[in-house]
Amino acid sequence: DIQMTQSPASLSASLGETVTIECLASEDIYSNLAWYQQKPGKSPQLLIYYANSLNDGVPSRFSGSGSGTQYSLKINSLQSEDVSIYFCQQNYDSPYTFGAGTKLELK
Amino acid sequence: QVQLKESGPGLVQPSQTLSLTCTVSGFSLTSYNVHWVRQPTGKGLEWMGVIWTGGSTDYNSALKSRLSISRDTSKSQVFLKMNSLQTEDIATYYCARDPDTTGIPTGYFDYWGQGVMVTVSS
């Protein structure tokens, strides 16, 4: 199975700040990487697919990048509604696997 | 409007079988693949399996011996059955839609149900 290592596990940032979350795959996943946002008590919501494609309705302050085994999610100009847990997920090979998540809080 | 909704018993006895239903609307099961994903409380996400538009399935090898996914296209329902439940199966179970329309799963999920919490206890 492909292992996804996500960092940091938690992150505290101020409103308006830019934050970056990293995801490392145990092998090349050829940009088959998705990012999800999960708010407390809610189901995950798709933010980014194929590493850098923004899902419909997702604010443009969210962006994804990376290739090979290394990927990142960047949030520009942090808003209060961005407080969530973020997960990466590889969809290159079954079983599809997720990172352990990054909990983003406001400082 | 695309919707998925999980239903089923919230409590299952140890060693018994879990049966969940995912009822979808706004799309057809013959056009979109549907996955099951679970999440232990406060923990990460685990992909369980998928039923393809043609009715075939793919399972996480870690669960394959206990898991079955099926569907009733006329009722727009996908079913999950997992036997020999133990406390490590306590989780919120989600069904989620794969955005692909060619029949081959992309493996990511554009719409999710609200989830159903399952506890294992006698």
Helix residue spans in B1-121 (DSSP H)? none
User: Of B52, B62, B66, which is closest to residue B100 (Cα–Cα)?
Assistant: B52
Percentage of chain B modeled with pLDDT above 70: 100
For B33-52, the DSSP string reads -EEEEEE-TTS--EEEEEE-
Cα B90 from chain centroid (whole Å): 14
B61 closest CB neighbour out of A46, A91, A95: A95
- pLDDT number for residue A58: 98
Longest dimension (CA), chain A: 38
User: Residue B57: helix, strand or coil by DSSP?
Assistant: strand
Give the mean pLDDT of B106-114: 97
Does residue B104 register a pLDDT over 80? no
Q: With beta carbons less than 8 A apart as the criterion, state whether A64 and A74 touch.
A: yes
For B53-77, the DSSP string reads TTS-EEE-TTTTTTEEEEEEGGGTE
* pLDDT band of A32, cuts 50, 70, 90: very high
Q: Phi first, then psi: give them for residue A87, nearest 5 degrees.
A: -125, 140
Q: How far is B111 from chain A (nearest CA, A)?
A: 7
A45-86 tens-digit pLDDT: 999 999 999 999 999 999 999 999 999 999 999 999 999 999
- pLDDT number for residue B102: 82
The chain-wide mean pLDDT, for chain A, equals 97
Structure tokens at B70: 């099926």
First to last CA, chain B: 39
Give the mean pLDDT of B39-58: 94
Q: Per CB distance under 8 Å, which residues of B are interface residues toward A?
A: 35, 44-47, 58, 60-62, 94, 99, 106-110, 112-115
Give the integer Cα–Cα distance in Å for B72 and B35. Answer: 15
| Residue bearing tokens 């549907």 | B34
Q: With beta carbons less than 8 A apart as the criterion, state whether B37 and B22 touch.
A: no
Q: How far is B91 from chain A (nearest CA, A)?
A: 13
B55-101 tens-digit pLDDT: 999 999 999 999 999 999 999 999 999 999 999 999 999 999 999 98
Contacts A43 to B, Cβ<8 Å: 94, 112-115
Give the mean pLDDT of A99-104: 98
* CA distances for A102 relative to A88, A105, B50, angstroms: 9, 10, 26
Give the mean pLDDT of B1-24: 97
CB contact under 8 A, B112 and A43: yes
Structure tokens at A81: 């509604």
Does residue B103 register a pLDDT over 80? no
